[in-house]
Structure 1
Amino acid sequence: MLTYVNDSQYGIPRKCPCGGSIINEVSRKEENDTVPGKRFFTCKNYEEEIERLTKRVVEAEEVMLETTKLSREMERLEEKVQSLCEQVEYLTVHVGRLEKVCFD
């Protein structure tokens, strides 16, 4: 498919790299248009491709937000684990002292 893109330097390709057909268009005169009547080409699937890519961007943003939320949750859980480890260590020391008192 990349050959189609490469061939576009030598003229308008017959097929788009996505496999869709090419539509030849001519730009209309607009206020900021410096070259009215310029010829260009687009893919028949152009709008569908933009919609598909937009959907992928939205999904990627959702994944990024979820990743951030999970990262924060992991930090909170690590703090809780650290606190629990300290409590276990404290209780272990006290159990050791009680064993000495009871069994000595």
Structure 2
Amino acid sequence: MDPNYERRSMKANKDLYDNLHFFTNSMQGIQERCVCGERLVHERAPAEVFDYLPGNSFFTCKKYKDDGMHYRQPWVCAVEEELGILKTRLESLEEHKSMVVKLEVENQELKTEVEKLIARVSELEYAT
């Protein structure tokens, strides 16, 4: 077999698997656009369709095909992931807020100390 053909085939397969990996990692929270660039629509599945995923409502790409390269995410999962993302962001913001408060208190203490030192320096200058 031709080694160049094998190399091209291997690179093509690697690109495909890399794209699939990037695509699956990007499906977190509520997306606005699919990786193909199309807008996502809020879709409700018919009552007779029973899907193994929870919920009957989906965020779906306009060009959705079941080829693994377009979004079709259950509404329940997307909202749950979005809430988790927002919760972690809120926790980090609360940590930053507490740090800011501590730094403001420390800054005020340092200002009073500097004022005392300036007063002491001016006393020493006049004394000499």
Q: Judge same fold: TM > 0.5, yes or no.
A: yes
Structure-2 residue corresponding to 1:52: 78
* Equivalent position to 2:102, from 57, 60, 76: 76
In our comparison, the structure showing a higher alpha carbon Rg is 1
Comparing both chains, which one has the higher relative contact order based on Cα–Cα distances under 8 Å and sequence gaps of 6 or more?
Answer: 2
When the two chains are superposed, the root-mean-square deviation of aligned CA atoms in Å is 2.2
* Equivalent position to 2:115, from 55, 72, 89: 89
* Equivalent position to 1:24, from 35, 47, 56: 47
- Mapped to 2, the partners of 1:77 and 1:55 lie a distance apart of 33
Does the C-alpha gap of structure 1 residues 74 and 21 become closer, same or farther in structure 2, counting only changes over 3 Å?
Answer: closer
Which structure: greater helix fraction? Answer: 1
- Mapped to 2, the partners of 1:58 and 1:52 lie a distance apart of 10
Gaps of 5+ in 2: 1-40, 50-55, 60-72
String of CA shifts for 1:38-68, please: whole Å, max 9, x gaps: xxxx34x376221111111001111111111
TM-score (norm 1): 0.57
TM-score (norm 2): 0.47
How many residues are paired up? 69
Task: Provide the identity percentage.
Answer: 17
- Mapped to 2, the partners of 1:83 and 1:21 lie a distance apart of 59
